Structure formats: structure tokens, C-alpha cells
Amino acid sequence: MPSSFKAISAKHIALSISLLLPTLSWSSESVKVSSVSKLDTQDITVDSISKEKPAAPIKTSKPRKQLRDPSITYSWQDGSKYTGQWNYRDEPHGRGKLVTKTGDEYQGTFENGVFHGQGVYYHVNGDIYRGFWRKGKEHGQGVMTYKNGNIYEGKWANGLRHGKGVLSYRSGSRYEGDWKLGKRHGKGMFVSKSGQRYIGDYAFNKQHGRGVEVTSNGDSFTGTFSKGKKHGVGECAPRNGNVEVCLFDRGRQITNKKLIARAAEYFKKNRPTYEFEGGIGFLFEDQYTKQRRWITSEEVHWDSIEAMLSTQLRIRTKNPQQALSIVIDDYSGPGTYQLRQGKFLATIGNSDAIGLLEGERMVVEITSDHKGVIEGTFSASRLVSGEGREIRSYAIRNGQFEASKYVPKKKKIKDNRDLIKQKYQVQ
């Protein structure tokens, strides 16, 4: 083809496009042509005309569904009734009140149709639960008041007592401790209305493991339990008396002397050592929990006050852990003495002052008084500390002492020259 024809054709094409461009009107769905500032036959290519996706249509939001009126009571076919807040799925959500077909009533918070949050549930049988809920079940801290007068206050999990809690019985008995799946399980303390109590391990509602059982008259057993019964080697302690090794078989006490001796030998190897090594030593017992500690002190001294007709003996010890004072009036050498109120005082750790009540006695037996050393034993069935409702009771068992005569420390007298320098500031 001649070159002149090619040039004419290109010019005709460019002229045609330039004439058409001002008259075309393009919609958003039409082919868009890129604006060209300067037409040139060599700039027009196939790529210069491109298609784009049509613009998305503007979405018109649907009107949100109207929530139900919280002031209107709605009823179900089974007879249940609900008044309160709703969600957009027509489920109780928020604050509300539900009366079930059986007559139970719940007032509290809902979440997506179930009890969730804090609320009160009134059972038709008279039980009332006040506390927290999760997914329709009691969960968290709550109080259940039963129709029979019992009250449980503590932790819940999935509708069951679970965690720390206290169950107070109408009769006056009380359990305080751990729960698991609705049963007493773990560490706990049960106190009956008669005063009998158990402090120790539980497994599925029964005493099982290590524990202390105290009868209403004050006698105690410290040892192992199996399925609610004393079982194995332990310590038996009458209210007034020393601690002795005892043996039980599924709740039955063994009296065979050979077996008891064998048990005592085993127990001696495995129990804490309560051996007296001079100074003073005694078992300090909490009368309520029956927990015992062996208290010792190396430095124990005695002194005396001579009167015309009698001698007062004073035995004292003091260290950062404990301080103790025993005063014996009318002392006359080895023998048995009974101390009354005000004649015994002690502090153990951070406790308040511990002493005798009016009418209570401490028994002190002086076994030896020789060459400036006084030896003896002592025990007390009841000591107290605190006042009013804070009063606590203790006992001292297996007490022994070995006291040396108190010798006051001589004060060092400074040299006269030092005293003169200090007084007159002479250098």
C-alpha cells in the first residue's frame, strides 16, 4: 500500500475520533476512555481503551427489628411468663423476671435466654438462692437458704457447691471448708451442736486422711481416718492428762498391749520429736483445733523472795519466741504445788498474754532442788487469752523445766579518770 494512503487513513481516523469525543455521554457501566490531552495517531493503541468494573450499587440498610416492650408480660404455651428486656432474637436479655410453669421465680439478669450474671431464684418448695449465675446455673459466690433452715454461703460451680464455703445447719452444727461437686472434700472443720468437732481432711463427705477429733468433754484423738472412722496410729489426749499413743482399727480402739507398744515404737520414729533437752519444753495446744506445738527455751532461771514466814519462788524464761513466768508461793522444796490465777503468765509468738482463769489451776511438781538447779514438771488443762468473743483457750501438756539460779550481771564501772573526763569534758 502506498505511504500516502497510510497517512490519509491515519488522519481520517484521528479526525473522526476528535469529532465524536465531545458528543458521547458515558454511564458508570460504559466503557471509559482515558482523557487524551493531545491527539496523535501514534498514541492511539488498543491498551488505551480499557474496561473497569461497574461501581457497586449503594446499599440501603434494612430497618432493624423492633425490640419487644420490656414493660409487657409475655407468656409461653407451657404457662411460663416473662417481663423484662429482650434481644433481637426475641430472647430474654438484660434485666428481667421469669415465672416458670412450675411456679419457680427468677429475678435478675439474662443473657441470650438463660440466667447469667446476678439474680435471685425462688423455688416453689421454699428454697431461695441469691448470687451469681453462668449459662443458666449457679456459679460463683452465692447464698442458698433452704426451706429446712440450713444456709450455705460460699462458692458454686455449674449448680453445685464447689470451692470454699460454710454450711450452717438449723440444729446449730456447722461445716466450714472445701467442697467439690457438692460434697465436703479437702480441708474442713465440722462442729456439732454438742461441741464435738473434727478438723482435718475430707473425701466425698467423709473424714478421710489426717485429722483431729474432739469429743464434747474435751478428749481428743489426733491421727488418721478412713471413710469416716479412726484408723491407724495416733495420739489420744484426755482433757486432763498427758498425750499417749493409741491405736484404732476402723473405729475400734485396740487395747492389746503388744500391738500398742509396737504402734508406739512406729509412731515415735515418724512423729515430731518432743524430747526435753534442758531449759524448758512443753506441748502448747490450741483447745479448739487441738493443734500442738513443742515450745522450748534454753535459758531458764529462778530467783526467790524471802519473807518472815514464807518464800516465794519465781521461775522465768524469755526469748524472742516466748516468755513465761511461774510463781510459787509458800515454797518449801520438792513437792506438788497448785498455781491459781495471776501466778502463771506466758506469751507465745505474737499472742496476747496467756494466763489462768479464776477457779482454774496449774499443777507444778518440783522434782529436784540441788546445787542451785531446780527441776520439775508442769501442766494446765485450760489457759485463756483475749476478752469477750475473742477469747481463746489453750492447754499445756508434758511441761518440763531445768532452771538455774539467776545471777544479776555486774555493771561495769568506768575508770575514775574516764568519769571525770566525761563530767567536765576534759580532753
Q: Which of 325, 383, 337, 394 is nearest to 356 (CA)?
A: 383
pLDDT at 145 over 60: yes
171 torsion bin: left (phi>0), alpha (psi -120 to 50), beta (else): alpha
Q: What is the pLDDT of residues 187-227, one digit of tens each?
A: 999 999 998 999 999 999 999 999 999 999 889 999 999 99
Q: Computed from CA positions of residues 217, 223, 228, 229, in that sequence, does the dihedral angle turn out positive or negative?
A: negative
Q: Give the CATH fold of the 73-270 domain.
A: lipopolysaccharide transport protein A fold (2.60.450)
C-alpha–C-alpha distance, residues 383 and 376, integer Å: 20
If one compares 183 and 4, the residue with the highest pLDDT of the two is: 183
C-alpha–C-alpha distance, residues 289 and 274, integer Å: 19
Please tell me the predicted confidence (pLDDT) of residue 376.
95
Q: Which of 45-59, 122-136, 348-362, 385-399 has the lowest mean pLDDT?
A: 45-59
Determine contact, residues 177/167, Cβ cutoff 8 Å.
no
Helix, coil or strand: residue 304: strand
Q: What is the pLDDT of residues 299-308, one digit of tens each?
A: 899 999 988 7
Confidence category of residue 241, pLDDT binned at 50, 70, 90? confident
Residue 351: Cβ-neighbour burial (10 angstroms; 0-12, 13-18, 19+): middle
How many of the other CB atoms lie within 10 Å of CB of 51? 8
Confidence category of residue 52, pLDDT binned at 50, 70, 90? very low
Average pLDDT over residues 88-116: 96
Cell of 62: 434494612
Please tell me the predicted confidence (pLDDT) of residue 354.
93
Domain ranges (residues) in the chain: 8-22+29-50, 73-270, 280-405
Please tell me the predicted confidence (pLDDT) of residue 272.
58
Please tell me the predicted confidence (pLDDT) of residue 32.
33
320 torsion bin: left (phi>0), alpha (psi -120 to 50), beta (else): alpha
Q: Computed from CA positions of residues 16, 18, 19, 25, in that sequence, does the dihedral angle turn out positive or negative?
A: positive
Determine contact, residues 271/427, Cβ cutoff 8 Å.
no
Please tell me the predicted confidence (pLDDT) of residue 320.
72
Confidence category of residue 25, pLDDT binned at 50, 70, 90? very low
Please tell me the predicted confidence (pLDDT) of residue 416.
59
Across the chain, mean pLDDT equals 82
Confidence category of residue 86, pLDDT binned at 50, 70, 90? very high
Instruction: Classify strands 322-328 and 335-339 as parallel, antiparallel or unpaired.
Output: unpaired
